[in-house]
Amino acid sequence: MSNPSQTRALWVAVAGVPLLFAAIAALQVKIDAGTRAYTPESEELLLRSGTALKKMSLGYDSLLADIYWTRAVQYYGNRAGIDGAKFDLLWPLLDIATTLDPKLIIAYRFGAIFLSEPPPAGAGRPDLAIELVKRGIAENPEQWHLNADLGFLYYWRMKDYPNAAAAYLDGSKNPKAPVWLKLMAARITEKGGSLETSRMIWSQIYETSQDKIVREKAMETLRGLRAQEDEAQLDQLAQEYQNRFGHFPASASDLRTGGLLREIPEDPAGNPYVFGKDGKSRLDPRSPIVIPPPLSPPPEATN
Amino acid sequence: MNAMSTPAIEILGLTKDFPVGFWRPRMRRSLDSLSFQVDEGEVFGFLGPNGAGKTTTMKLLMGLIFPTSGTARVRGRSIDDVEMHREIGYLPEQPYFYDYLTARELLDYYARFSNYSAAERRERVEKFLERVGLAAAGDVQLRKFSKGMLQRAGIAQAILHDPPVVILDEPMSGLDPVGRREVRDIILELKKQGRTVFFSTHILSDAEMLCDRVAVLAGGKLQGVGAPGAIVAIKAPAMEILFEAREGRALPAGLAERATRIGGRCRVEVPEEGLYAALEQLRGCEARILSVSPVHPTLEDYFFRLVGGTAVSRGLEEISR
Amino acid sequence: MSATVGPVAINTFREAVRDRVLYNLVLFALLMIGAAILVGEISIGIERLVIINLGLTAISVFGLVMAIFIGVGLVYKEIEKRTLYSLLAKPIRRWEFLVGKYAGLLLTLAVNTAFMTLGLAAALFYVGWRFERSDTSILVAIYFILLEFALVTALALFFSCFTTPMLSTLYTLGIYITGVFADDIRAVGDFTRNPAVLGVTRAIYYVVPNFHNFNAISMAAHGNAIPFTLFWQNTLYAALYVAVLLLAASAVFSRRNLK
């Protein structure tokens, strides 16, 4: 039905276009491989001022905020877990995203995690995380989650128990906030760096968080905390064993034969605990459980 | 070269459907298996009312649109062959050109598509500016050109490369009487040089004056091909008499009812063979004869008779929007 | 071929050069480069950085505006004003016409970019700049900007073969923006770990022209050397993509009835 020159044009295109696209995709793969090798170390953000960007965004600031938040996530994702990785642009990106859209709750909450995690999992800057979350609270006073996050940062990362308690207490004044915030404030004031308090905080995080990764992290920490508690108890039992028999137990089964335990205790991953020559219990070296770094005793607890 | 034996233009069953409507396009046939040929060295008129399919035919020949079916050849070459364009010159209907160029630049631009040397090109541009009467306006930007001047520039670019076949789409339209006369002269000159001219018009007198043969198109269908006289002769020629009646004198019975009054003057149409009888009658009543002239049937008149005024009048309405 | 493409290209160039809009744009871009000197003076120690950043950005933005706004009218205007009828009556194939129009606009953009580059050099000299070896990366960055123009122009030309300037502008801008964020789109897909989303984002990444490849402004501003492999890879990338677009445009346009 169509004319020969029209048909010829169609066939040339039908044959040529996919072929060229295949070549383009192949080349892009090569370019990507190359770019990764020579991406400059010091990356640059042309505009570091969120307020300037907000003016230049011509009213599309919330869209731009989403874009910057996405970039921040990628930036973090590309570096997290790599030894020696630097997170220099993480703070500016989060700063810009939250300035562009001060209601972007997710950017405060996850941004704080990215910033506060010690390297290589994060930037190791809990101070900046606290600044970010405080700004989030100022912009979004109804978001009690942010108060809880702030409390957590003070408690877990800064070991600053009075401020942690104050943060939880502030959050508890929100009528929508669950009652555990108030309990948490009281508990921290009462016994700051205790394992019990830590476990309560992490349980709340585990129960209130919707995010899978956060929940996994909380579960892991809770198991670590349980192991820590187990160890403390086992150490006590070992001391008692020494008092009775004049020497430390060589294994957990010694405690059972000595009548101090009914069962051989296992860590949350199912591995029995082992004992050192000093009588201190510890995790089986094969166990995946990680005991969180010890919290320094709170200032109140020292006196 | 067998140029003498092959026709200049050969149209073989050209059919063109255009989609009409946006959401659910239906096909409308604007050209229906058109076939005829134009011989070498002929001036060939392509007649038909507006909307008959003349421009469509010419655009098909120039490869601007593609036929639904059928084909055409120019001097034996298929219209798909780009080399065919070396042997053909084309003036589009109501031509419009790059208005930021001067007439000289425009012709120079088009001349570049033929293989002339720079000197040859310059010489040619000047010659053709002269020929269409634009020598004085050669350095004026085309945006300042009148419609008539654009038409001249258009003719110049069509014949710039001495093509053996020239296709002109409505070359006289939009021109004043002097301009029309000049275009007629150019066509006759091309004929004298042995070129083939294929031009469309809806004005019968142009065709009558210039053409060796004409083809008549209406409603996308070929109505007839032949010498222009044959078409004009279809109606027995009538004569028109303009006169002033003497006051107080009644007109003779045979004329009174046929005459139309325009102010103080009267107009009457009589068949050629009745002219002298009518003049005698007018003399009898002392009427003052102002003029006597033959009545040319208009093309529209011709078509109304030919196709009963249906398809064509629709075409006319469409164009007069 | 060049016998027919050349005149069309030169005529397209002439049309652009005789348009007043073009001069306004170039003037505006030069003003922006000039303003960079002022901005550079208020910030301390990064004068050169600011001028290069702003200057290259101005060259890129104004060139893109020109590429799109002239590009979308390239073919459409010739059809709409019927100037194409008498041209296609000459012995020229439709794809030759397209390539000519394309080359003409590219030539226009190259000449403009050359002017703006001179403006940038003048601004740099004004703040006491002496040419260093590392400054070749500025020229490479400008070359990459030109490659970007080549791609955007081809996009605009492609769309202008079958739709109105308004829609062509929208499509071209849309693809340009998608292309700029191609990296991010891909990263979002990788982040979700959803195979369906991943498939779509990967497909977009490889089909859409990846303008991220051509962004070397910050490398140039810091005087980082741009690797030679990137130079020829980008050249090849642009050439391939332009070939695809011109091929598709020719196929569409060669089949089109010019009403």
Q: How many CB atoms lie within 10 A of CB A174?
A: 16
- Taking contacts as CB-CB distances below 8 angstroms, the residues of chain C near B63 are 88
Flag whether B311 is in a domain.
no
Is residue C91 within 8 angstroms of chain B, CB to CB?
A: yes
Per-residue model confidence (pLDDT) at position C242:
95
Q: Does B279 lie in the same domain as B164?
A: no
Q: Which residues pair with B19 in a beta bridge?
A: B27
Flag whether C48 is in a domain.
yes
CA distance C237 to C211: 10
Q: What is the ipTM of this complex?
A: 0.85
Flag whether C166 is in a domain.
yes
Flag whether C99 is in a domain.
yes
Could you read off the pLDDT of C190-208 as tens digits, one per residue?
767 778 888 888 888 888 8
Flag whether B166 is in a domain.
yes
Could you read off the pLDDT of A261-288 as tens digits, one per residue?
777 778 887 888 888 777 778 787 787 7
CA distance C15 to C7: 12
Nearest to C158 by CA among C85, C240, C102, C94: C102
Per-residue model confidence (pLDDT) at position B3:
44
Flag whether B54 is in a domain.
yes
- Taking contacts as CB-CB distances below 8 angstroms, the residues of chain A near B68 are 1
Is residue C168 within 8 angstroms of chain A, CB to CB?
A: no
- Tell me if B100 and C7 make a contact (CB, 8 A cut-off): no
Per-residue model confidence (pLDDT) at position C40:
63
- Taking contacts as CB-CB distances below 8 angstroms, the residues of chain B near A10 are none
Flag whether C159 is in a domain.
yes
Per-residue model confidence (pLDDT) at position B36:
92
- Tell me if C81 and B96 make a contact (CB, 8 A cut-off): yes
Flag whether C176 is in a domain.
yes
Q: Which residue on chain C is closest to A71 by alpha carbon?
A: C184
For residue B189, the domain's CATH number is 3.40.50.300
Nearest to C102 by CA among C221, C197, C6, C218: C6
Is residue A39 within 8 angstroms of chain C, CB to CB?
A: no
Is residue C20 within 8 angstroms of chain B, CB to CB?
A: no
The phi, psi pair for B37, rounded to 5°, reads -140, 155
Nearest to A139 by CA among A107, A173, A95, A105: A105
- Taking contacts as CB-CB distances below 8 angstroms, the residues of chain C near A9 are 95, 250-251, 254-255
Range of the structural domain that residue B163 is part of:
9-232
Q: Does B20 lie in the same domain as B123?
A: yes
Q: Does B197 lie in the same domain as B81?
A: yes
* C-alpha distances in Å from residue C143, one per residue of A27, A120, A215, C59: 19, 38, 49, 11
Tokens of B270: 């009589």
The phi, psi pair for B49, rounded to 5°, reads -70, 170
What is A50-217's CATH number? 1.25.40.10
- Tell me if B66 and A4 make a contact (CB, 8 A cut-off): no
For residue B251, the domain's CATH number is 3.30.70
Nearest to A98 by CA among A71, A123, A125, A66: A66
Q: Does B131 lie in the same domain as B206?
A: yes
Q: Which residue on chain C is closest to A11 by alpha carbon?
A: C251
Distance of CA B4 to the CA centre of its chain: 26
- Tell me if A67 and C181 make a contact (CB, 8 A cut-off): yes
Could you read off the pLDDT of B240-279 as tens digits, one per residue?
888 888 877 777 777 777 888 877 788 888 888 888 888 8
Could you read off the pLDDT of A203-240 as tens digits, one per residue?
877 887 777 777 887 888 888 888 888 888 888 888 88
User: DSSP assignment of A95-114, as one string?
Assistant: HHHHHH-TT-HHHHHHHHHH
Range of the structural domain that residue C230 is part of:
2-254
CA distance A237 to A241: 6
Flag whether B80 is in a domain.
yes
Q: How many domains does chain C have?
A: 1
Q: Does B247 lie in the same domain as B113?
A: no
Nearest to C120 by CA among C24, C48, C41, C64: C48
Whats the size of chain C, residue-wise? 259
Cis omega before residue A297 (within 30°)?
A: no
Per-residue model confidence (pLDDT) at position A229:
81
Flag whether C259 is in a domain.
no
CA distance C244 to chain A (A): 6
Q: How many domains does chain B have?
A: 2
Q: Does B215 lie in the same domain as B103?
A: yes
For residues C237 and A34, the answer to whether their CB atoms sit within 8 Å is no
Q: Does B114 lie in the same domain as B25?
A: yes
User: Using DSSP, how many helices (H) and how many strands (E) does chain B show?
Assistant: 11, 14
Is residue C224 within 8 angstroms of chain A, CB to CB?
A: yes
- Tell me if A28 and C254 make a contact (CB, 8 A cut-off): no
Q: Is the pLDDT of residue B314 over 50?
A: no
- Taking contacts as CB-CB distances below 8 angstroms, the residues of chain B near C257 are 18, 64-66
CA distance A20 to chain B (A): 27
Q: Which residues pair with B224 in a beta bridge?
A: B216
Q: Does B44 lie in the same domain as B78?
A: yes
Q: Is the pLDDT of residue A302 over 60?
A: no
User: Using DSSP, how many helices (H) and how many strands (E) does chain C show?
Assistant: 12, 0
Distance of CA C16 to the CA centre of its chain: 15
- Kindly tell me the burial class for residue A257, based on how many C-beta atoms sit within 10 Å of its own C-beta (0-12, 13-18, 19 or more): exposed
Flag whether B304 is in a domain.
no
Q: Does B202 lie in the same domain as B145?
A: yes
CA distance A212 to C156: 45
Last residue of a domain, one of B232, B250, B268: B232
Q: Which residues pair with B20 in a beta bridge?
A: B26
Q: Does B219 lie in the same domain as B81?
A: yes
CA distance A122 to A116: 6
Q: Which residues pair with B17 in a beta bridge?
A: B29
Cis omega before residue A120 (within 30°)?
A: yes
Per-residue model confidence (pLDDT) at position A186:
75
Flag whether C149 is in a domain.
yes
For residues C219 and C52, the answer to whether their CB atoms sit within 8 Å is no
Q: Looking up tokens 């009409």, which residue turns up?
A: B20
Q: What does the domain layout of chain A look like in residue ranges?
A: 50-217, 225-298
Flag whether C244 is in a domain.
yes
